[in-house]
Structure 1
Amino acid sequence: MSGLLALLDDVAALAKVAAASIDDIAGAAAKAGSKTAGVVIDDAAVTPKYVEGFAADRELPIIGRIALGSIRNKLMFLLPAALALNAFLPQAITPLLMLGGCYLCFEGAEKIYHALAPHQTAEVAADYDIKDPAHLEEEKIAGAIKTDFILSAEIMTIALAAIPESALWIEAATLALVGVMITVGVYGAVALIVKMDDIGLYMARKARFSLTRALGRGLVLGMPKLMWLLANIGTAAMLWVGGSILLHGAEVLGFGAAAHLIHELALGAGQAVGQAEAAVAWAVTAFIDGIFGLGWGLLLIPVVTKVIGPIWAKITGKAKAAH
């Protein structure tokens, strides 16, 4: 009897440890997930464009396939790579984060540049030359998954940097949880966004009450404005997050003058206002980070389009020819 009680006591102790570990994983996942908010907003803002021009009955299947590709990116490729880097080459994490920050700054600045000086890229022009809708759908999904891979790499790296040092399995479980939560949240929101006009149209036509029909008409009329707002929020988030990553990375590498100056300016602005000091300091920091990200991204545009782009086109062209 005493042996049975001792066994039950051990089981209870193990259950407590497991529960504490689960709490640790959930807490770390929530903290790490919050650090990736800017990239997540951009991911949610970018994805709806991949279903533009397709029949309504193809929108959700396309989003579903992109979401599955995103899960595969995060769990099969990026999670093991992130853990391996953290275990064997942790000093590479900051430079990789900064490389991702450069990508975010370039993408955000390129969107602004394109809005101010519209130009059609070869990839966009090629889309209009594709006559087969099924082939176009495959091309769009493949392009979305490639873009997701870069954004997911940034998300997983930021999340890994935010996770407190712990056992390998806890870090792996936390990263997996972050990856799944973000993917479900992003693509669930995207699915709701792209179908919102259909929901509104149904409400406007079929609802029994005039107020509900009016709400439906409001959804139909408001969706283009919401998409415009999301796109702009996504662009701003890219620049803010990208600039913040670069400045923080430079500080970690020993070049912290710019980050310290921004911190002092934000702190001074918050103290000058008096009320909502922390919110003002955060807003000033985010604004300056975004301006820095925009400037850096504009500098990268000619480098990417004139140097990196042609080299990459040759590499991928040769790979396709060999295949």
Structure 2
Amino acid sequence: MVVELTVEQARRIAVRAQALEAERPGGVLDAIDRLTFVKVDPVSAIAPSADVVLWSRLGEAYDPAEVTAGLEVDRTLFELDLMVRPMDDLQIFRPMMRRWPKHERTRNWIEANDAFRRDILIRLSGSGPLPASEIPDTSAVPWSSTGWTNDRNVTIMLECLMMRGDVAMSARRDGQRLWDLAERVYPEVPELEASDAYVQRNERRLASLGILRERKAGGSPAEPIDTRGIGEPAHVEGLRGTWRVDPAALEHVDKPLAERTALLSPLDRLVFDRKRLEELFGYEYVLEMYKPRDQRRWGYWAMPILHGDRLIGKVDATADRAAGVLRVDAIHEDEPFTRDLVEAVFGELDSLAGWLGLEIGGRAVGLA
């Protein structure tokens, strides 16, 4: 049986799945467990994107040190491929690690550098955890690339070994990852069949997003989601094709959303899939940080504004830490803001500034 949904119901499912209702998650681990991961990204116009994602769920109570403690002390979290995940999910990634890599070029490079691989494991065994800068490059065949990874042999081999489950990121110091043997970072986890783990990974991903189109490789390139055969099939009123919905989300599909206003990172998973964003929310968004200044419509790091189950505008803001100011240069209204909406948006900006330890200022502050 195919579930029939209105667009409003589909939006409520998506917002609830991303923990953006008025009732906030119980803490950092609860938030990351519900999101399945937060992506580590170096761009920090406001703060690192992973921190903005967690602030938007937890508010001013969020302390980035809790993520560090989860990764380095409590080991309730782990980082894999620049994504911080709950350690409870390790078991569904272990079978994928055992089968990695899929690409012949990478597999051939690792095989050609088998002595280099063993050198790294021996050094980490005796001296780890270590940054890549303290590991000698004994590669026989350099890694070739037209990008920044060209000849960065130690870093590439460490990342390959991470994806294979041989090494793991143990900590970060001064922006560098410290690497160690995986057995000293990861706990023992139950062995799963690769097929079972594959299904569970996709079910977890669907639950974290609530509703997705039925397809083999949806979502972001870094986190593809195979929605075939998982969840419940659904049609969304006015949209073509079949969607897949998390079964647990259907239990509350007619329950009104506990609305709140939230400012989102441009890399937030609610908005990252631009096609889904336009279909379900009727919202146009492009990340303009790579565009020349005179070609930007909304700003370098414009933050989408969520109100209830609607995306209603963008905030062009940057953190000027030297001046001690959260600079709000523009607020773009995709629909006319009521006085209550203006107050709600500036309430979130005040919260963001307070969390950052900055004063709020800029050209758009007079709108409040």
Q: TM-score if structure 1 supplies the norm length?
A: 0.24
Larger radius of gyration: 1
Higher normalized helix content (fraction of residues): 1
Q: TM-score if structure 2 supplies the norm length?
A: 0.22
